Amino acid sequence: PNFAASECRLEDADQVMTIVRDFGPDVIVHLAAQAGVRYSLENPRAYLDSNIVGSFNILEAAREVGVDHLLMASTSSVYGANDVMPFQETEKTETPLTFYAATKKANEAMAHSYAHLWNIPTTMFRFFTVYGPWGRPDMALFKFVDAMLDGRPIDIYNHGEMYRDFTYVDDLVRGIRLLIDAVPV
């Protein structure tokens, strides 16, 4: 079908279902979400609508068309209050510290149930601070560069006592592409 991604709202179940039915994909890679920890404090409704309702609509569409593989984005934020470092996929994620993380943890639980109930092979990704071209302007990299170019001081959180892993977008895309063909059994 001929449509622009900007024309589709994940919260619109009928629209999502129509697009998926018309296209008839074998694989769905669901990366859309309302991202960002800080904005979830200001506008939690945006996270509920996009991350919960929108992802539910994707799950329903995947179920209806019977995709061979569903791949969905989560976040490293689901590790929440977990203090075991470095994070490992096997660590518990029952203590999200932000509403954003809670919505992504809910997505993981919903996807797990759909995989079980409807036999949908599903892979979840827990991304760590993705950066690169076309990145979000609220990310530290862009904020730091903007402030430095404008002669303003950079904002430092947690008194500078913070460490982060970053993932370059091209590495992430390469990994997703390889995982499309690695259908879980």
Active-site positions read 100
Pairing of strands 167-168, 69-75: unpaired
